[in-house]
Structure formats: structure tokens, C-alpha cells
A and B are shown apart, each in its own frame.
Chain A
Amino acid sequence: MNRINKLFKEREGDILSVYFTAGYPQLDDTLKIAKSLEEAGADLIEIGMPFSDPVADGPTIQESNKKALDNGMSIKVLFDQLKELRKEVSMPVILMGYINPILQYGVEQFCESCKAVGVDGLIIPDLPIAEYLKTHKTVFDKYDLKNVFLVTPQTSVERILTIDQHSDSFIYMVSSAGTTGAKTAFSEENTKYFKRINNMGLANPTLIGFGISNSETFQQAAHYSRGAIIGSAFIKLLATSKERDSISEFVKEIRGKMQDKRQKK
């Protein structure tokens, strides 16, 4: 069974997914950070493949993309680094990135490499569902790669149902209109939207992302979905320290009171 499906099957809630950019802050940090995150108790990681023009990302992730590219990161280099992935890390791993570098690498070759190193899923923000179904689904399926779609507060009910129908892992709920980036709290408008999606009875579980930065926002998000995704706040930490202890401290702080609840399950 695909590791993502297994995770959602086994874990009822409080799933913590952490995003970081491959090759940031230093080129060869990718695997070390992944390992530290697993040790710290993250449940899922999203490794960002840097792109020169990340339109869906806010300043923090943009900056990390730029730095990673300057460091020499590319999809080729990343797959080289991930050769040892499954010796070091057992949790599900998702690659996240924009479509153009994948097209240049070759979609089938990319999927083949993903499968070979043990990647479980993909998030490609600028690959809309229509293009995915038309051109890429068959190849992704062939290599058992789960494609994760985003929904936003503006996504229509009809479209959410279509996305649910064509998803087989989880749905990435973007918390509010905006690019990636940390917030300190969710408004009533945010929670209303979380509830609305919750009540739709979707076949796929959801994780909430964009704007999760601390224990408070994580708890709120985990209350309305199966868990949450942290990106920019973690990149900010990496900018100051990438040591195992600080990563462990970061994860513990995000989970806050939930740590206990999670262990009981």
C-alpha cells in the first residue's frame, strides 16, 4: 500500500506534514533535514523542488527556492540525494514543485525516478486537474504516485467534488486566499470554510496548509481536518538553524498539547 494511504488509514488525526525546499539552506541538507523531521515526530514530508518563478509562493519560500537554485539544486541532483532516502526515512514523502522543471526532466522519467527512490506522491500547484487527467494521470498511476490537489475558499462545490473523485490520498485545503506564508491565527471566516468542507463528506481526508505557523494554528487546523501542513514557518527556522535539536524543538512546539493525545492513539 502507498505510504500516504497507510498513514491516513492508521492515524485518525493530528497529522503533521512539513514542507522544506530541497537544497536549502545548503545543497546537501535535504536528506539530513528529512531524517531529523522523522526523528522529531513529523508524519509526512513535502520536499520542494525549487523553481525560478514560484507564483503560488510567498516571500519566505520564494527566497528558499532562489537560494537552493543558487546552491545548484535541480531535479537530477535531488534524485541523486534521495537514492538513500528509504534507508533513512520510513514516513511518506511527497515531492512538491512547479510543472516546468518536471516537463524538462521528462514526465515518465521523473515518475520512474520517484518510484525508484521511494517517493509516494506529488503536489504540482500549476498543474490543474484538467491537464492532469488529460496528459499525466496514466503515467502517475503507473508508478503509484498519488497526485494531491489543492482546494481554496473560492473553489466551487462542484469542483471540490470533481477533485475528490480524482484524488486517492488527501486533499490539500489552502486556508485562505493568498500565497504560502505564515499567519498567527485563523479568522472566523477561515474556520467557517473549514467546517463547510468538513461537512461535505468527502471520500478523501484533508490536510490544511498555508498560514500554519504555531501550535495554535496547528491545533485549529487539526480540529477541522486530519492535520496540517507547515512550510514557511519551518523554512524560517532553517534560515537560523538546521540542527537536529532545533528541528525537534520546533516540531514539539507545533504539536504543543497535542503530543500526548497523539501518543495515546
Chain B
Amino acid sequence: MKFDVDKDGYYGNFGGAYIPEMLYPNVEELRLNYLEVINSSSFKEEFDSLLTHYVGRPTPLYLANRLSEFYKTSIYLKREDLCHTGAHKVNNTIGQIILAKRLGKQKIIAETGAGQHGVATATVCALMGMECFVYMGEIDIERQKPNVERMRLLGATVVPAKSGSKTLKDATNEAMRHWISHPSNTHYIIGSVVGPHPYPDMVTRFQSVISKEIKIQLREQTSSEIPDYVVACVGGGSNAAGAFYHYLDDESVKLIAVEAAGKGNETGQSAATTVLGKAGVLHGSKTLLMQTEDGQVTEPYSISAGLDYPGIGPIHAHLFETGRVTFESVKDDEAMIAGMQLCKLEGIIPAIESAHALAILDKVKFKKEDVVVLNLSGRGDKDLDTYINWKENSI
């Protein structure tokens, strides 16, 4: 495929494995083994079986009638919000834990921002009986109490990241430091299409089940597997990578990635990396990165905790640079309005991350005959407080 990673781990100008020597053996072990393991028939069998019977896949592709009527086009929602644990994140953690087991690892570490990836990791660790440490910024631990409790209930140890800005990027730093100190028996389950090669490719492959299903379901429902648009939100970019993957080579499908513009791209409180970032290196890969002129990584802002990462996966940096994917950005308020609209029109409470994708329905001019597939990456139960507070403050 045209947009697949090359043999050196690059997507065009982005990617690679910028890691300290201490991590080299771990990452090299993965690089040498991941394709053979995940392409083996016994892996596929176990992965597919768990996705079906444990995660609840395939998730529905649902023609949202009232939403379609409102925007005068055909909108299909890919219901990743119906996955076990409430978001697409679990597709990746299932894949990686089977891989970790097959590589003989005993312990799992992960980073988490809002806690969704942490919960998805704690879940699969419980499922497989593996010890689990989740690194989470001290500030996020306070902001996301229910997910912290979920992880603990599932048996994981939540380790507060107290360094730097005490949020997602620092949790990632701490997880990497833990991995440096425990090189041989530990696997690091990165939660998005970020990190050193082969992580971006590996996570993309696990999430690509989303577009694989969309194709089948769309053919069943519309007699063509080809939509006019696929829309997804981007923080690190794992749900978007999964939703776009099987359409990347078909240029007739317009792909739209939606970033979080926070309070506005000109306010200094945004997470829209393609607007505000430039090429740089963080967490093991070269990608677009929000940073100061001196190359210090800056702290992004979004009302959605799952979108406030200062970079994007290298695959997305490449898709942006080549123009294959159109990047839009959506402000807090626009996302909240779109999220509430979905509640009222369709009886679905979306995660605020996914609400960012919904908000572009109001910005892009679709034709009546267009088929628009929107990846509803997660459900909004975790965001109730944010919805309620926003509603109260905006009246």
C-alpha cells in the first residue's frame, strides 16, 4: 500500500525510531517479530475471536436518519462507542497483549491521559492475568477520578507521573523510563499511533479492523463499499488511522481528520497540531509537534482530555503533508454543541473526542447523495461532568 511504513520505519519524512540506546533491544525485539507474530494464523484466530466474543465486534455501522435529515446527506456512524470499555482503544490493547504474551513478557506498562487507554489496558491485563502498571499525569488523575477507580478495580496499579507538566506527555515519559529500567520482562502498550517504529504501524494494523468492517457493512447497506467521505477525530490519531486505513489507496474517498482547536488556534489554548506544530522529535518518532521556537514541547489544550497530545502519529503527519487527508480543527464549543445534538437527534451520547468529528458536519458542504462515514470513536459516559458543566456555563 502506498501509505504504509517503509523498511526504515518512515512514512515519507516522518517516523523512525529516535530512542535512547537503553530502549533499543526492546524496540528492536518488537520490530523483528511483530509482523511475523501478528500475521500468523494462530494470532489472527485468537485476535479475531476475542474481538468477536469479548469486545463485541463487528460494531454496527448505523445510518443516522435524523442526523442525516438535518444535514441533508447520508451519515453513517461507525459505532466504536459500543466496544467493550467504551471506545476503539481496546482493539489495540487486545492485539498488543496477545503479542506481548507470545514474546514471553510478564508485565505490562501503559500511559494514559483521560484514562480510556489505561482502562482498556487494565482490562486486557485482567483478561490475560498479567501485571499492569498505568502511568498517568498527576493532574489527569485528579481530573479523571472515575477512570482511575476503574483501573484499580481491574487490578492495575496507577502510577502518578509527577514530572514536567504532569499530563499525558509526562505519563508517556515516565512509562518510557519504567521500560528503560525493566528491559527484559516488560511490554509497553502504547495507546496511539505514536512512538518509535514499529508502534505506529502496529497500532494502525490493530485499529484497521474499523475500516475493514466499514467496507463490508457499507457494501451490505448501500451496495458499494466506497463512501464519499470518512471522518474521524485526531489526538494521537489511532481511531482515524483505523477508520482511514483501507481507504488510503482509493483517492476517490475524501478523508477528513478533525483536530481539537480548544479555545481557538490563535489563543494559545489549542491542540491542533497540523495548524500549530512543526516537524520535531518526541517519544521516539519524527512528526509534527507543538513546540516553542527553541524546540521545547508545549502543553496543548482541549476540553477533551483524549485529544490534548502535543503531536500526532507520524502516519498522520505524512497524510497531512501529502494532502491525502484534509485536516480540520474544531473548537471546544463547536464540539460540545455537536455532541449535544447527537444526544437529542439520535439518542447517543458521544465522547467529546468523537464530538469533534461530529462538529465538522456543520462546516463541510455535503451533497445530498454523498455517503459520509463518521467514526464514533467512543461513548460519552466518561464525559458527563464536562457536558453538564459546559451546559450550565453556556446558558
**A positions within 8 Å CB-CB of B:** 51-56, 58-59, 62, 66, 69, 74-76, 98-105, 125-128, 130-131, 149-152, 154-156, 159, 174, 177-179
- Assess whether A154 is in contact with B295, with CB atoms less than 8 Å apart: no
Instruction: Compute the total of residue contacts between A and B using a CB distance below 8 Å.
Output: 108
B20 / chain A contacts, CB cutoff of 8 Å: 55-56, 125-126, 150
Bound Cα distance from A99 to B18, whole angstroms: 9
- Assess whether B21 is in contact with A131, with CB atoms less than 8 Å apart: no
- Assess whether B280 is in contact with A103, with CB atoms less than 8 Å apart: yes
- Assess whether B21 is in contact with A100, with CB atoms less than 8 Å apart: no
- Assess whether A179 is in contact with B25, with CB atoms less than 8 Å apart: no
A154-B25, A154-B184 as given contacts; A126 in contact with B18, CB under 8 Å: yes
- Assess whether B183 is in contact with A177, with CB atoms less than 8 Å apart: yes
| B392: Cβ under 8 A from any A Cβ | no
A53-B282, A154-B183, A178-B180 as given contacts; A128 in contact with B289, CB under 8 Å: no
B176 / chain A contacts, CB cutoff of 8 Å: 55
Bound Cα distance from A155 to B291, whole angstroms: 32
- Assess whether A152 is in contact with B280, with CB atoms less than 8 Å apart: no
- Assess whether A104 is in contact with B295, with CB atoms less than 8 Å apart: yes
- Assess whether A55 is in contact with B177, with CB atoms less than 8 Å apart: yes
- Assess whether A128 is in contact with B180, with CB atoms less than 8 Å apart: no
| B173: Cβ under 8 A from any A Cβ | yes
Within 8 A of A (CB), among B143-160: none
Interface string of B13-36 (1 = CB under 8 A from A): 000111111101100000000000
- Assess whether B181 is in contact with A177, with CB atoms less than 8 Å apart: yes
| B129: Cβ under 8 A from any A Cβ | no
- Assess whether A52 is in contact with B296, with CB atoms less than 8 Å apart: yes
Bound Cα distance from A101 to B292, whole angstroms: 9
Q: Select which of A98, A105, A128, A178 is within 8 A of B21 by beta carbon.
A: A128
Bound Cα distance from A177 to B177, whole angstroms: 10
- Assess whether B21 is in contact with A149, with CB atoms less than 8 Å apart: yes
- Assess whether A179 is in contact with B291, with CB atoms less than 8 Å apart: no
Bound Cα distance from A155 to B22, whole angstroms: 8
Within 8 A of A (CB), among B274-309: 279-284, 289, 291, 293-298
- Assess whether B25 is in contact with A55, with CB atoms less than 8 Å apart: no
- Assess whether A103 is in contact with B22, with CB atoms less than 8 Å apart: no
A100 / chain B contacts, CB cutoff of 8 Å: 280-282, 289, 291, 295, 297
- Assess whether B21 is in contact with A104, with CB atoms less than 8 Å apart: no
- Assess whether B181 is in contact with A179, with CB atoms less than 8 Å apart: yes
A126-B20, A128-B19 as given contacts; A74 in contact with B294, CB under 8 Å: yes
A62 / chain B contacts, CB cutoff of 8 Å: 163-164
A66 / chain B contacts, CB cutoff of 8 Å: 163-164
| B169: Cβ under 8 A from any A Cβ | yes
Within 8 A of A (CB), among B169-189: 169-170, 173, 176-177, 180-184
